[in-house]
């Protein structure tokens, strides 16, 4: 969050406008809206009426307020690798610590033809340099640019090199990185992550949102969602639980409806 320089959208992606329970309006994929409708986040449970639609291309260039970023505002920019069946379809960009984000931002900053292809203005990208937010041993405080240089990444299309760089950046950053900005400066990233999450939610800048790790399809062929329902797992061998059940079975309150039972 502290290192945001922009956000990414899928140019050909279809986004919808949805009103959530708080009265705010979210721009996101239909899939994310459906998930949220089963998590008590929409105005009416299980309902997610789309109030308007917009393409990612139409969102490019929109001025945004990015929570916790040191930039007063950032812009929505194009990224062609976004999956509309993952998350909300809107991706925060932290080029200091994400090789994919850095490669795309650098290409947009240095390649006029790419900017023209997606109708991106120079002032939307050139002034927004990566922000040092995490110090990683042997990789410094801008680990994504460092790794992109080490792996000789030439563009955002160098998928194999970026995949290797990303694996190192995320692993090293999470387990060995130390925050150098914000109120949790001096703490390990591993410790700071849940604290930042808690702070964002408390301040009304974020919400809890859940979805399956990957695609989950039911026997009826429907895409599954994570639903907030009153449900739990039973530990069948747990003695206290068994005693409660047996006491009930032996009591006058236990009723059966046929002789065999």
What's the whole-number mean pLDDT along residues 142-151?
97
Report the distance separating Cα 245 and Cα 230, nearest Å: 20
Per-residue model confidence (pLDDT) at position 231: 62
pLDDT tens-digit map of 116-130: 999 999 999 999 999
Over 90: is that where the pLDDT of 25 sits? yes
Per-residue model confidence (pLDDT) at position 52: 98
- The domains of the chain are located at 6-214+222-231
Over 70: is that where the pLDDT of 180 sits? yes
Per-residue model confidence (pLDDT) at position 230: 63
Over 80: is that where the pLDDT of 239 sits? yes
Top CATH class of 6-214+222-231 equals alpha beta
Instruction: Enter the tokens of residue 58.
Output: 């139409």
More confident residue, 258 or 33: 33
Over 90: is that where the pLDDT of 59 sits? yes
Biggest alpha carbon–alpha carbon distance for the chain: 82
Element (H, E) at 76: strand 74-78
pLDDT tens-digit map of 77-98: 999 999 999 999 999 999 999 9
Per-residue model confidence (pLDDT) at position 212: 87
| 16 strand-pairing partners | 28, 53
Residue 10 to residues 53, 78, 187, 191, 226, Cα–Cα distance (Å): 14, 6, 34, 32, 24
Tell me whether residue 127 is exposed, middle or buried, using C-beta atoms within 10 angstroms of its C-beta: 0 to 12, 13 to 18, 19 or more.
Answer: exposed
- Please list the alpha-helical segments (H only) found in the chain: 30-37, 56-59, 99-110, 112-117, 143-150, 159-176, 189-202, 239-250
CB under 8 Å to 38, separation ≥6 — which residues?
45, 46, 225, 226, 227, 228
What is the reported pTM?
A: 0.84
Instruction: Tell which residue, 125, 171, 129, has the closest CA to residue 8.
Output: 125
Give the whole-number percent of the chain exceeding pLDDT 70: 99
CB under 8 Å to 98, separation ≥6 — which residues?
144, 166, 169
């Amino acid at each position: 969050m502290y290192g945001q320089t922009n956000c990414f959208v899928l140019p050909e992606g279809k986004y919808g406008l949805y009103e959530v329970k708080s009265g705010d309006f979210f721009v996101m994929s239909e899939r994310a809206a459906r998930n949220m409708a089963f998590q008590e986040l929409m105005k009416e449970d299980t309902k997610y009426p789309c109030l308007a639609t917009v393409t990612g291309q139409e969102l490019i260039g929109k001025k945004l307020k990015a929570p916790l970023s040191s930039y007063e505002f950032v812009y929505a920019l194009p990224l062609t690798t976004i999956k509309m069946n993952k998350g909300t379809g809107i991706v925060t960009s932290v080029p200091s610590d994400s090789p994919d984000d850095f490669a795309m931002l650098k290409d947009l900053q240095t390649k006029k033809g790419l900017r023209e292809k997606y109708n991106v203005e120079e002032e939307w990208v050139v002034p927004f340099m990566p922000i040092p937010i995490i110090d990683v041993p042997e990789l410094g405080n801008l680990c994504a640019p460092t790794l992109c240089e080490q792996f000789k990444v030439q563009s955002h299309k160098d998928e194999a090199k970026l995949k290797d760089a990303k694996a190192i950046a995320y692993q090293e950053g999470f387990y060995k990185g130390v925050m150098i900005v914000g109120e949790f400066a001096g703490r390990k990233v591993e410790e700071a992550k849940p604290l930042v999450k808690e702070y964002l939610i408390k301040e009304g800048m974020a919400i809890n949102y859940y979805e399956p790790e990957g695609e989950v399809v039911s026997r009826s062929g429907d895409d599954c969602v994570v639903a907030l329902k009153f449900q739990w797992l039973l530990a069948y061998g747990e003695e206290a639980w068994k005693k409660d059940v047996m006491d009930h079975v032996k009591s006058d309150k236990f009723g059966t409806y046929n002789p065999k039972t």
